[in-house]
Amino acid sequence: MDTMRDRLAPVVTRLLQEDPRVAVVLAEIGKDGFAEALRRYPDRVINVGIREQLLVGAAAGMALTGLRPVVHTFASFLVERPFEQVKLDFGHQGAGAVLVSAAASYDWPAGGYTHMAPGDVALLDTLDGWTVHVPGHPDEAETLLRHAVAAGDDTVYVRLSVQSNAQARQVDGERFLTVREGRGGVVVAVGPLLDAVLEATEGLDATVLYATTVRPFDGEALRRATRTGGTDVVLVEPYLAGTSTAAASDALAHVPHRVLGLGVGRAELRRYGTVEQHTAAHGLDAASLRQRISGFFQQGAAGA
Amino acid sequence: MTTTDALGRAYGYADLPRLMGLMTGDEKHGPAATSTLDVLWVLYDRVLRVDPGRPDAPERDRFLLSKGHGPMAYYAVLAAKGFLPVDWLPGFGSYDSPLGHHPDRTLIPGVEISSGSLGHGLPIAVGTALGLRAQGLHRPRVWVLIGDAELDEGSNHEAIAFAGPAGLERLHTVVVDNASAVHARPGGIAARFEAAGWSAVTVDGRDHEKLYAAFTAAHPGRPHVVVARVEPKDA
């Protein structure tokens, strides 16, 4: 199967053709995919070289002239390295853009910690107004990229990953989907972790929601799910564990509830290897998830 | 030259100390507060094609004040030129005033960027020049004002190194040099830009004719920097 990132340049190249407002800003990384677009739209597809502060600042300047820039590089160099530019050059200026990252939390484990960005969504959570899409399949990535570019002058982050579910779902760029219904707890699976969550909760009496747009957080969907599924909630996120715990708690502030936030651990593993090995090390493989989720639900049932 | 505001009052260069005094409470200002004053006046009076009646016109020149510290001279010039009412000036820095100690573009007509954190204006100016070019808007010129100490910020060097080879002819930078950078070499500013392929002129930042000549010098195919030297900050 191709990856989400394989879809990026073809989709955005079509958008460049459809909409004269669309522009692309790169900092070397990803330029090969955009080679044809660079030739066809030399004024709207800009590679600034290995300069990530300029990547973000220039995109903001383009937005201030009325364009809709799509800005792409690895998550660590898109959100973390130029974070103050992200904070000031978009939000504070009142300018919008679509930031599309690759490499996610540990897509290239052999590359080590310098190319891992498990904290990207948590960092964006310190800012106001960002929409965050976390597709779980290349087809969903296409859909969400189109939503992101079409979202006026909003600030939107699209987090692409080589990790993927086997099948795409009908995502709408806004709402959580109900994938399974049960009465003994609610699990929110984010993006590429859905398959592992479904395997982990097979046979458990639990509701599974699927989230590919995590900001704004679909609190209404969570509240609705807890009415029949109960107020024990597990969040399974492919970035820093607990990133959405506060959002889930806010959504359930009116009722007693328990929330367990699972995701990528803070501690640096200092290991290379494969994606599967890192998934297991962070306890995000199906077997580990089953143990942690069922343990949390049993604990809640025993307490009640 | 003088201009007339919406109420028919005319303001010239000689009025600027009084307008600044409405913010600072004193018509006497030291070199630090006025380091940008002559540059700003010559730009707004003779160079920039901007219209306070149409501050969002697509064809306008863009002036980006990157050095957002000490914006009293900027606000005084904007008030003299009719972009903001003179009666906003006394509220400078207060809770209900749109005029902060660093400017906010969403609060003040004619202000192109919010600044204060150093090193953001030049990269945004690069993007502004790219964005205008991509839309076939070849008439507007983009100007960004930075300080010599602001050049310490590495983000500027990303922008300088890109804009020269990219041939961003519509991009102009004015560096107000009051010798406030802690580590600097004489002539280093112009040399830095020239090394990246910019057209560069260094002039007396208090001499209006020389500033005007430097601002309007031809620089085909290249971005242009004017280094405007004023009194050393610590002199």
Do A57 and B161 make contact, defined as CB atoms within 8 angstroms? no
Q: Which residues of B touch A53 (CB under 8 A)?
A: 119, 123, 154-155, 158
Residue of B130, B132, B156, B160 to mutate for A, most A C-beta atoms under 10 A: B130
Q: Are A130 and A156 in contact (CB under 8 A)?
A: yes
**A256 cis-preceded (ω within 30 degrees of 0):** no
Do B117 and A84 make contact, defined as CB atoms within 8 angstroms? yes
Per the rule left: phi > 0, alpha: psi between -120 and 50, beta: everything else, A283 is left
- Of all residues in chain B, the percent with pLDDT exceeding 90 is 89
d(C-alpha A1, C-alpha B119), whole Å: 43
What integer best gives the mean pLDDT of chain B?
95
Do B131 and A61 make contact, defined as CB atoms within 8 angstroms? yes
Please report the beta strands in chain A, taking only residues with DSSP state E, as ranges in sequence order. 22-26, 45-47, 68-74, 97-102, 131-133, 155-159, 177-180, 186-190, 207-211, 213-215, 232-240, 258-264
Q: Which residues of B touch A54 (CB under 8 A)?
A: 123, 126, 155, 158-159, 162
Question: What are the boundaries of each domain within chain A?
Answer: 4-159, 177-303
Q: Check CB contact of A227 with chain B, cutoff 8 Å.
A: no
User: How far away is chain A from the Cα of B109, in angstroms, using its nearest Cα?
Assistant: 13
Do B123 and A63 make contact, defined as CB atoms within 8 angstroms? no
Q: Cβ contacts of residue A18 below 8 Å, gap of 6+?
A: none
Q: For residues B36-40, give the mean pLDDT.
A: 98
Do A88 and B154 make contact, defined as CB atoms within 8 angstroms? no
Angle between helices B154-166 and B188-195 (to 10 degrees): 50
d(C-alpha A66, C-alpha A94), whole Å: 12
d(C-alpha A258, C-alpha A233), whole Å: 6
Of B114, B135, B162, the CB nearest to A92: B114
Do A64 and B112 make contact, defined as CB atoms within 8 angstroms? yes
Do B161 and A94 make contact, defined as CB atoms within 8 angstroms? no
Q: Are A12 and A33 in contact (CB under 8 A)?
A: no
Q: Does domain B3-229 have CATH number 3.40.50.261?
A: no
d(C-alpha A256, C-alpha B30), whole Å: 62
Three-state secondary structure call for residue A85:
helix
Q: Check CB contact of A94 with chain B, cutoff 8 Å.
A: yes
Could you tell me the sign of the dihedral formed by the alpha carbons of B103, B105, B110, B116, in that order? positive
Tell me the CA distances in angstroms from B41 to A260, A288, B176, one per residue in order: 60, 67, 13
Radius of gyration of chain B (CA): 17
* Fold category of A177-303 in CATH: Rossmann fold (3.40.50)
Do A59 and B127 make contact, defined as CB atoms within 8 angstroms? yes
B5 pLDDT exceeds 70?
Answer: no
Q: Which residue is closest to A43 within chain B, CA to CA? A: B134
In chain A, what are the helix, strand and coil shares in percent, each to the nearest 5? Answer: 40, 20, 40
d(C-alpha B33, C-alpha A178), whole Å: 61
The confidence band for B4, taking pLDDT boundaries of 50, 70 and 90, is low
Q: Which residues of A touch B110 (CB under 8 A)?
A: none
d(C-alpha A156, C-alpha A97), whole Å: 6
- CATH no. of A4-159: 3.40.50.970
Alpha helices in chain B (DSSP H): 16-24, 31-34, 37-42, 72-80, 121-134, 154-166, 188-195, 208-215
Is the pLDDT higher at B5 or at A102? A102
Domains A4-159 and A177-303 share a fold: yes
pLDDT at A303: 76
Residue numbers of chain A with a pLDDT score lower than 50: none
Q: Which residues of B touch A85 (CB under 8 A)?
A: 120, 123, 155
- DSSP-derived letter for residue A103 is S
- CB atoms near residue B138 (< 10 Å): 11
Q: Check CB contact of A46 with chain B, cutoff 8 Å.
A: yes
- DSSP-derived letter for residue B46 is I
